[in-house]
């Protein structure tokens, strides 16, 4: 019996939303596991700084809402490396407003970024993976896709992430027999721009009291789940939504 293989040597991972927060960490974790990493972000300077700190990385300025940006990103990745083995659809935005007051332009922006942009990226990279007969796609979703995070009114955001979970399931069903796995990763209140880096003591106390594990997550506690879904360690897993929440959704 051999241990599961979480290594990504010789593989190329494309990660969106890499200029800060979870996306930056995802890029570092995949790079440390041996992958060459394509970094996609709207912010060029932090993306270039991140690339310079990695063993083998290509920074590309990209707004996933724009068709031409997505196409240029995939073309640049294939021109540099000739292949894409892992796609992590991490780019996303959040907005918290009571549903009755939520501006529909804001909802459209949430859907354009979190859902339509993600679908567009997945189509482009998915076609390449299907041609090769292999690949792993990880869509970053949220527990708000399946439960209400009661302290924060998130109707538009929850709708966008619920669509991501449904899309993940459907793509997995369509592509599994052709060698491409599609899964979702749903982190709950990890330190990031979206969560305000957990700098509010009241927020931390609320998370700790609501979470069976009794504390907020550490950034490193998402590393293993990401590598599991990205690597051959999860070769028989597709269509799943892996919720990393300290037990939050058990209540």
Residues marked as catalytic: 157
> What CA–CA distance (Å, rounded) separates 106 from 166?
22
Q: Are 159 and 104 a contacting pair, CB within 8 Å?
A: no
DSSP sequence for 112-154: IIIIIHHHHHHHHHHHHHHHHT-EEEEEE--GGGTS--TTS-B
With a CB cutoff of 8 Å and minimum separation 6, the contacts of 100 are none
Print burial letters for 196-230: b (CB count within 10 Å at least 16), e (below 16).
eeeeeeebeeebeebbeeeebbeeeebbebbbbbb
Identify whether the C-beta of residue 188 lies closer than 8 Å to the C-beta of residue 206. no
């Amino acid at each position: 019996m051999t241990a599961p293989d979480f290594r990504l040597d010789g593989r190329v991972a494309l990660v969106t939303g890499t200029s800060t927060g979870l996306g930056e960490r995802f890029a570092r974790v995949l790079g440390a596991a041996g992958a060459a990493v394509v970094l996609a972000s709207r912010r060029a300077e932090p993306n270039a700084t991140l690339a310079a700190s990695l063993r083998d990385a290509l920074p590309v300025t990209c707004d996933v809402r724009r068709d031409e940006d997505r196409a240029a990103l995939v073309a640049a990745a294939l021109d540099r490396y000739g292949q894409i083995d892992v796609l992590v659809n991490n780019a996303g935005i959040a907005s918290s407003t009571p549903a009755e007051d939520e501006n529909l332009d804001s909802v459209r922006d949430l859907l354009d970024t979190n859902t339509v942009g993600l679908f567009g990226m997945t189509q482009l990279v998915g076609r390449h993976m299907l041609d090769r007969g292999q690949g792993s796609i990880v869509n970053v979703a949220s527990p708000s896709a399946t439960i209400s995070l009661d302290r924060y009114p998130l109707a538009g955001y929850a709708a966008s992430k619920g669509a991501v979970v449904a899309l993940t399931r459907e793509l997995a069903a369509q592509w599994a027999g052709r060698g491409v796995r599609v899964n979702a990763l749903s982190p709950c209140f990890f330190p990031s721009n979206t969560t305000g880096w957990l700098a509010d003591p009241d927020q931390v106390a609320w998370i700790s009291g609501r979470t069976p594990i009794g504390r907020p997550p550490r950034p490193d506690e998402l590393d293993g789940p990401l590598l599991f879904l990205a690597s051959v360690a999860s070769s028989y897993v597709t269509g799943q939504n892996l919720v990393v929440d300290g037990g939050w959704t058990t209540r």
